[in-house]
């Protein structure tokens, strides 16, 4: 009987990280039962395989540093984080930056601003571009995470990761996108260049907002698995797959403005397939080394 390449690949991987002949979910359960969680193995797993939804919030909290690796500290740390959240929430109420009717994502923004020393002098001040990014990510995260305290810390830590760990990498992604698109479909790239559309692609939506408000949450969380576990380059391949998927539509559009408008509002009916193909393309070109940006 011929060997199953996928099964063989898994066997090699599990042997490397200490598991053999078990399903992905079971192997993750084993990882999560360790007294001290192995961050490197969690990153590797998250980059190799989709995270089961029932474990996603926990893994994200560990990878983002919201929870420490040691299990016995989790309850204490989350108790402290809940108290910290409540204290800042109360302070913002006292200074009248928020009230009971304030939308939850705006509450998250004000807490984050106060935490980072960037709270404006008045709540009536216009939002900065970085605030718009925070709100977009917060709106998406709110659909994924039920608990407000968990949601806030995930959003805040994720945004901090983008602003710190990926600060130098994110500005390079448009150029990287062009390089890989040339390898995948040079004709499409030539058309986009002819229309002067490359500079008008929605890079802010794709890369700064990590596709929040572009992809539905069911697809988005699979992309964020990879970003949170160490690779912002996955964003490039999601963008490329969007371009390839809608190639026929894009080829008949002849202006940068029309192309940009279409890509900012892509149809939502096949985004799971787009993300799956993007992950395959990412594996093809980059492999999955842990913490690869």
Contact 77, 86 (CB under 8 A): no
Mean pLDDT across 21-49: 86
Mean pLDDT across 251-272: 94
**Percent of the chain whose pLDDT exceeds 70:** 90
Cα 27 from Cα 172, distance rounded (Å): 35
> According to the model, what pLDDT value does residue 290 have?
47
pLDDT of 89 strictly over 80: yes
Q: How many CB atoms lie within 10 A of CB 285?
A: 16
What's the token pair of residue 231?
Answer: 């690779």
Cα 40 from Cα 220, distance rounded (Å): 23
Mean pLDDT across 116-123: 93
Identify the CA nearest to 160 among candidates 39, 84, 63. 63
Alpha helices in 168-233 (DSSP H): 173-184, 186-194, 203, 217-228
Burial of 14 (0-12, 13-18, 19+ CB in 10 A): middle
pLDDT tens sequence across 36-71: 999 999 999 999 888 999 999 999 999 999 999 998
Q: What DSSP character marks residue 126?
A: P
| Ordered structural domains, the chain, with CATH | 5-54 (no CATH), 72-164 (1.10.8.680), 170-286 (1.10.472.80)
Provide the pLDDT confidence category of residue 269 given band limits of 50, 70 and 90.
Answer: confident
> According to the model, what pLDDT value does residue 244 have?
98
Cα 193 from Cα 198, distance rounded (Å): 6
> According to the model, what pLDDT value does residue 288 have?
57
Per-residue H/E/C for 47-106: HHCCCCHHHHHHHHHHHCCCCCCEHHHHHHHHHHHHHHHHHHHHHHHHCCCCCCCCCHHH
pLDDT of 178 strictly over 70: yes
């Amino acid at each position: 009987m011929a060997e199953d390449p996928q099964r063989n690949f898994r066997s090699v991987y599990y042997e490397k990280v200490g598991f053999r002949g078990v399903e992905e979910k079971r192997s993750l359960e084993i990882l999560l039962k360790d007294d001290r969680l192995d961050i490197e193995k969690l990153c590797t797993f998250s980059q190799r395989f989709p995270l089961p939804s029932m474990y996603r919030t926990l893994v994200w909290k560990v990878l983002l540093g919201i929870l420490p690796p040691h299990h016995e500290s989790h309850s204490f740390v989350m108790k402290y984080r809940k108290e910290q959240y409540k204290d800042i929430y109360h302070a913002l109420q006292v200074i009248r930056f928020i009230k009971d009717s304030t939308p939850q994502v705006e509450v998250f923004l004000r807490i984050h601003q106060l935490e980072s020393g960037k709270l404006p002098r008045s709540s009536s001040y216009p939002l900065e571009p970085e605030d718009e990014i925070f709100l977009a990510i917060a709106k998406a995260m709110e659909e994924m995470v039920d608990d407000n305290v968990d949601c806030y810390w995930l959003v805040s830590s994720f945004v901090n990761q983008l602003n710190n760990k990926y600060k130098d990498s994110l500005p390079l992604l448009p150029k990287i996108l062009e390089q890989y698109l040339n390898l995948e479909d040079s004709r499409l790239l030539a058309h986009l260049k002819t229309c002067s559309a490359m500079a008008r692609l929605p890079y802010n939506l794709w890369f700064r907002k990590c596709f929040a408000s572009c992809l539905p949450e069911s697809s988005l969380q699979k992309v964020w698995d990879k970003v949170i576990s160490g690779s912002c380059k996955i964003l490039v391949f999601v963008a490329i797959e969007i371009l390839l998927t809608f190639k026929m539509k894009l080829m008949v559009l002849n202006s940068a403005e029309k192309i940009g408008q279409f890509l900012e509002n892509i149809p939502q009916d096949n985004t799971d397939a787009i993300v799956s193909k993007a992950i395959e393309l990412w594996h093809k070109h980059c492999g999955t080394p842990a913490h690869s940006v």
